[in-house]
Structure formats: C-alpha cells, structure tokens
Amino acid sequence: MSLFIYIKRIQRLDDLIRRKSTGPPAELAERLGVSERWLYHVLNELRQDLGCPIRYDRRRKSYTYADRGKVIFGFRSEEELKDPKKIRGGCRFGIRVLQSLKAGRAEGPFAGAPHNPYGSIS
C-alpha cells in the first residue's frame, strides 16, 4: 500500500472525527478498511506524538476532538513558512512517521503490529 493511501485514510479518519460521526471503534475500523488494532495504533500516535486532542464520546458513540482543528498534509511555500498566520489547521502529521515509511522502517502505529498493510515504500 502506498503512502498516498495511508494519508487518505488518515484524512478520512480526521474528517469523521471532525464531523463526530466515527461510530464505535469496530465500525470505524470497518469503514476505513483496517483492523481495530491498526486503528488504535493510529489514534494513539495522533494523540501522543502529534498532540491531537482525540477523545471518545460514549454518548455520541464517536471519536471527537476536544478542540477545533484539522490534520493537515501537503506542501507549504517558504512564504507560508515565514508567516505562520497563513498556515491553518490543527495537529500535523509527523514527518518522522513519513520518513520512517519512506525508509521502510516500522514505527508508530506499525511497530509490532501483526498486520502491516503498508509494507515498504520505495
């Protein structure tokens, strides 16, 4: 599986969390086409490594963000980087994870997981 597909899954997860419509973990994993174990690994990485304020709302039966925000991927021009007011969003996906995927190392949600759908990215 390519890095592009992984990013698309994270973006889909972020969208569902922002809309407060993830459903319970088993249902969310099925919607994303991943195992529950993979889902828990990614949620923990987003929380711990990237500081995303993700929580589970039992009343709504959905993951939600405690604060408004958005996971952002993409290119930023040098002008945008010089002026942080031009960059919008919430938590950012860790460059360390992207680099580890590129290098074929299993880190973050991939470390020790019995099912790694991503393989090595060249």
Domain holding 50: CATH number?
1.10.10.10
pLDDT in tens, 31-47: 999 999 999 999 998 99
The count of domains in the chain is 1
Q: What is the pTM of this model?
A: 0.63
pLDDT in tens, 74-115: 777 888 777 766 555 544 445 455 555 556 554 444 444 444
Q: Is residue 117 part of a domain?
A: no
Q: Is residue 21 part of a domain?
A: yes
Nearby residues of 116 by Cβ (< 8 Å), 6 or more positions away? 106, 110
Nearby residues of 59 by Cβ (< 8 Å), 6 or more positions away? none
The CA-CA-CA angle for residues 79, 5, 58, to 5°, reads: 95
Give the range of the structural domain holding residue 50, as residue numbers without chain letter: 3-108
Q: Is residue 121 part of a domain?
A: no
Q: Is residue 120 part of a domain?
A: no
Encoded amino acid at 105, one letter? R
